[in-house]
Structure 1
Amino acid sequence: MAQKPSIPKGTRDFSPVEMAKRNYIFDSIKSVFLKYGYQPIETPAMENLSTLMGKYGEEGDKLLFKILNSGDFLAKADEQLLADKNSVKTTTQISEKGLRYDLTVPFARFVVQHQNEISFPFKRYQIQPVWRADRPQKGRYREFYQCDVDVVGSDSLMNEVELIQIVDDVYKALNINVLVKMNNRKILTGIAEIIGEADKIIDITVAIDKLDKIGLDKVNEELISKGIPQEAVDKLQPIINLSGTTEEKINTLKTVLAPSEIGMKGVEEMETVFSYLNSLEVETEVELDLTLARGLNYYTGAIFEVKALDVQIGSITGGGRYDDLTGIFGLKNVSGVGISFGADRIYDVMNQLNLYPKESIASTQLLFINFGEKEALYSLKALKQIRQAGIKAELYPDNAKMKKQMTYANKKEILFVAMAGEDEMNQGKLTLKNMTTGEQQLVTVDELINIIG
């Protein structure tokens, strides 16, 4: 007996109905991106590991899917490394490529490679799958889609404001209640300076970023395990637990971070962004959250994270400013800022809350019953006109029993069925049946279009 096929853990198949829902999400997000003047690009699923490694921190590097070299990939591998089972060093000899971990690093590579062909500031969006060798769990997959929007070649904080407006528009369109959390890596750097641990900024941000997942005690344990003294950890506590309005937090930070030039620069940037958002009356709530760190090493300024308010799930959108990312590839002094919408988590949220408009997931609106060759030809002529009017319609391909054809319509949740027999053809009309109410009426093709369209 043949073994039943399966798919890798952390991946999913999507049925036609599920794809209709996902396409509704993609189309809604894409329409907002286009409204703000962003252009689409695509990059390959795999990149050279030299492009990917070292951009996501030590933990991120471990989650990269590596691709074995073509042919006899062991031929050039060091025999001693193989004998020692040194997987880290052996991997560098047998694998030169990897699946992309996100869309931001490939985008930075794209900008550098095509810098003479694009105009700055360059505004792009990208909707493609990414892969992470993570432990699969609810809301966390090994293959998932990101919907990224970035602008590079501009230092203006107007870009941060625009990204918040995009978040506001997208989630209003999808009818999801969200909270936007913001922070600034310069503020975090300033905090590290004033507690006397400036050289531990990466360890501090990686640990703080886990606060929601593991709690304050575990975060403090991780900080101490990274060699940060108890005294410095103690100094960190009032800052992590800082509460109040955004204005109150900013005023407190102005005092606390006064000795740190970079910290004060971060506070100034946040104050500017929030003043613009208040003037524009953005509907979505935006709060300053000093525990927000986002673990990726390439962020240098504002950082964002979006939480769904009505469902327990991780962040559904995140991003920030990166001043040095293209510099890694040889293009200096090009600042960028962007955010990524996690399509798979948004999909899970919308499924839980049943937020899809009925028309968005309807496939066929109208089915023609097949009574035979002559009737089918008559139906096909009507179908041409009906489809030109923008109605999704089909003819059942076989002259099967009526019950079978009606069962097909019910299973596909088709709202209307059209029938053309001898009487209808003689009158140049169709019998239209509403599958919800059971009502039938004799109509012309134009009348049918008006009823369904």
Structure 2
Amino acid sequence: MENPSIPKGTRDFSSIEMNKRNYLIQVIRNKFELFGFSPIETPSFEKISTLMGKYGKEGDYLMFKLLHSGDFLKKGISNFWRRKKEDPDPFNNQELMEHISNKALRYDLTVPFVRYVVMHRNEIFFPFKGYQIQPVWRADKPQKERFREFYQCDADMIGSYSLSSLWQEVEFIQLCDEIFTELNFPIIININHRDILGGLVEISGIENHLWKDFTTSLDKWDKKGRNIVKKEMLRKGISSNSFEKIACFFDMKENFSKKIESLTVALQSSERGKKGIKDLRFIFQKIKNISLKKTKLKWNVSLARGMNYYTGPIFEISPDNNGPCIANSIGGGGRYDQLASFFGMKNFSGVGVSLGLDRIYIAMEKENLFSTISSSPSKVLFINFGDEEVLYAYKMINFLRRKGISTQLYPNAVKINKQFRYANNNHIPFIISIGKNEIEKKKIRVKNLKTRTETEYNNIQEVAHQLMKKNP
């Protein structure tokens, strides 16, 4: 018999872990709604045509494709070879894929969000603010803190160009600050602008058709370092001379004002670059006048974000723990002005943030920030002394539940020690005993398993009042 197992890159979650994850989701959801975002959901899989070409070559490669149902393989491959038998290069992966698959698990939540908006544009009002908290899948190599199935928490805003404003970026920075302040988790938001990178490409002499290769490689600057990025760019056809012309800007450690001075001079001949500098100056000036609580805003000129659809300001979120800025990213986002045009809706601009639930969870575990989150499935366990006693106690059980106090009844009238052991093993902090003596005296006996103290109460209202205190 085969031992049960799960695919690499996926995980089971215990009830203790789920309590913590649900806490994170609740905080994020509450803040999304506080800022006016409305919930939507999209399917776990989309048409391949919806997803392909939006994430770059690496994204297309890492997408989980779903095979057609039925006896597709024999028929699909047979048809493929029949058409290609005289082709000098018959084994074309893309054409073969069309015969065996036309669907894929979603790679992120942004592209499905825009597809949703385009399909429902006659039913929604613009600018539209929506959020999703759902799993995504990537056929990546499983490794530490990198999974094939993971949750993203996305908030996005989309509207016509006439409705777009850099205040949206300011709002998203404020939103992130609110979320991580609630979680007591200081963060750094590293920000950059794709037009500044475009301006640097212009003055370096890098050819336009190498733009995607340039941004994909540059995105690894903080993770892998200058030398590895240079080798990768040279391999992709970017000249050493072009690289050296602009490499100094990616290592800049100066403050915002010094970077503005240097890049304003360097990009004076690039209209695109000057627009990027103007946008970032606006964002930093406005944020300076807004009180951020747990967030530091930094300009990182090497930040590129690999998704093809970003067009304006972009940002990455990382814990403020003196570690590497981007290598431990827990979220990111930016502006995408052309993504809707892929689906036939022109002149629409979007901006959004994507928070990695799993990355946030792992980072908070490391910092012991879940210490106040209850790990118990219930707050109270009623001891089962038998049918008569349970029937007497059941009104009390229902009363506590109506008050929002999670309450369990042990299912069988087994030995008391076994019932106490169940409560201990499941981290249930309080045990209520209603035996014959308690019924006769009209008392309720409550034991606090943490302090090992026992208290008698005259009625269930007193018990509920005590249990609803923060530290009863």
Q: Same fold (TM over 0.5)?
A: yes
Note closer, same or farther for the CA distance 1:82–1:174 as it changes in structure 2 (3 Å cut).
farther
Aligned mate of 1:93, from 87, 96, 99:
99
Pick which of 184-193 and 194-203 moved more.
Answer: 194-203
Aligned to 1:300: 311
Report the 3-state secondary structure (helix = DSSP H, G, I; strand = E; otherwise coil) of the residue aligned with 1:236: helix
Aligned mate of 1:235, from 239, 245, 259:
245
Matched, 1:104 2:110: yes
Does the CA-based 8 Å contact 2:318-2:330 persist in structure 1? Answer: yes
C-alpha root-mean-square deviation of aligned residues, in Å? 1.5
Report the 3-state secondary structure (helix = DSSP H, G, I; strand = E; otherwise coil) of the residue aligned with 1:280: coil
Report the 3-state secondary structure (helix = DSSP H, G, I; strand = E; otherwise coil) of the residue aligned with 1:303: strand
Structure 2 gaps, min length 5: none
Does the CA-based 8 Å contact 1:207-1:219 persist in structure 2? Answer: yes
Does the CA-based 8 Å contact 1:419-1:431 persist in structure 2? Answer: yes
Note closer, same or farther for the CA distance 1:82–1:421 as it changes in structure 2 (3 Å cut).
farther
Pick which of 306-315 and 218-227 moved more.
Answer: 306-315
Taking the aligned partners of 2:38 and 2:340, their CA distance within structure 1 comes to 19
Query: Residues 301-380 of structure 1 correspond to what in structure 2 (within 5 A)?
Result: 301-310=312-321, 314-380=328-394
Cα shift at 1:297: 0.6
Which letter does structure 2 place at the counterpart of 1:79?
W
Report the 3-state secondary structure (helix = DSSP H, G, I; strand = E; otherwise coil) of the residue aligned with 1:145: strand
Which letter does structure 1 place at the counterpart of 2:81?
E
Matched, 1:175 2:175: no
Aligned to 1:187: 196
Does the CA-based 8 Å contact 1:188-1:201 persist in structure 2? Answer: no
Query: Residues 352-431 of structure 1 correspond to what in structure 2 (within 5 A)?
Result: 352-431=366-445
TM-score (norm 2): 0.93
Aligned to 1:41: 40
Which letter does structure 2 place at the counterpart of 1:448?
V
Aligned to 2:452: 438
Does the CA-based 8 Å contact 2:31-2:179 persist in structure 1? Answer: yes
Taking the aligned partners of 2:253 and 2:203, their CA distance within structure 1 comes to 19
Which letter does structure 2 place at the counterpart of 1:343?
L
Note closer, same or farther for the CA distance 1:370–1:82 as it changes in structure 2 (3 Å cut).
farther
Which letter does structure 1 place at the counterpart of 2:308?
N
Taking the aligned partners of 1:235 and 1:452, their CA distance within structure 2 comes to 67
Aligned to 1:147: 153
The one-character-per-residue Cα deviations of 1:351-379 (angstroms, maximum 9, x if unpaired) are 22221143443321111000011011112
Cα shift at 1:82: 9.1
Cα shift at 1:206: 0.8
Taking the aligned partners of 1:179 and 1:82, their CA distance within structure 2 comes to 53
Report the 3-state secondary structure (helix = DSSP H, G, I; strand = E; otherwise coil) of the residue aligned with 1:441: strand
Note closer, same or farther for the CA distance 1:82–1:171 as it changes in structure 2 (3 Å cut).
farther
Matched, 1:447 2:453: no
Cα shift at 1:81: 8.1
Aligned to 1:132: 138
Does the CA-based 8 Å contact 1:432-1:442 persist in structure 2? Answer: yes
Query: Residues 217-232 of structure 1 correspond to what in structure 2 (within 5 A)?
Result: 217-232=227-242
Which letter does structure 2 place at the counterpart of 1:140?
R
The one-character-per-residue Cα deviations of 1:22-49 (angstroms, maximum 9, x if unpaired) are 0001001111101000000000000000
Does the CA-based 8 Å contact 1:81-1:89 persist in structure 2? Answer: no
Structure 1 gaps, min length 5: none
Pick which of 359-368 and 305-314 moved more.
Answer: 305-314
Aligned mate of 2:205, from 183, 190, 196:
196
Note closer, same or farther for the CA distance 1:80–1:138 as it changes in structure 2 (3 Å cut).
farther
Does the CA-based 8 Å contact 1:182-1:302 persist in structure 2? Answer: yes
Matched, 1:79 2:81: yes
The one-character-per-residue Cα deviations of 1:240-263 (angstroms, maximum 9, x if unpaired) are 122211121112211111100011
Runs of 4+ with >6 A deviation: none
Cα shift at 1:70: 1.6
Does the CA-based 8 Å contact 1:139-1:314 persist in structure 2? Answer: no
Pick which of 425-434 and 310-319 moved more.
Answer: 310-319
Does the CA-based 8 Å contact 1:429-1:445 persist in structure 2? Answer: no
Report the 3-state secondary structure (helix = DSSP H, G, I; strand = E; otherwise coil) of the residue aligned with 1:306: strand
Taking the aligned partners of 1:174 and 1:82, their CA distance within structure 2 comes to 57
The one-character-per-residue Cα deviations of 1:153-205 (angstroms, maximum 9, x if unpaired) are 03200110000011111111112221110000011000000111151221111
| Equivalences, count | 452
Which letter does structure 1 place at the counterpart of 2:127?
P
Aligned to 2:12: 13
Does the CA-based 8 Å contact 1:128-1:145 persist in structure 2? Answer: yes
Aligned to 1:271: 281
Report the 3-state secondary structure (helix = DSSP H, G, I; strand = E; otherwise coil) of the residue aligned with 2:408: strand
Which letter does structure 2 place at the counterpart of 1:296?
M
Taking the aligned partners of 2:211 and 2:92, their CA distance within structure 1 comes to 30
Aligned to 1:289: 300
Does the CA-based 8 Å contact 2:375-2:427 persist in structure 1? Answer: no
Pick which of 430-439 and 69-78 moved more.
Answer: 69-78
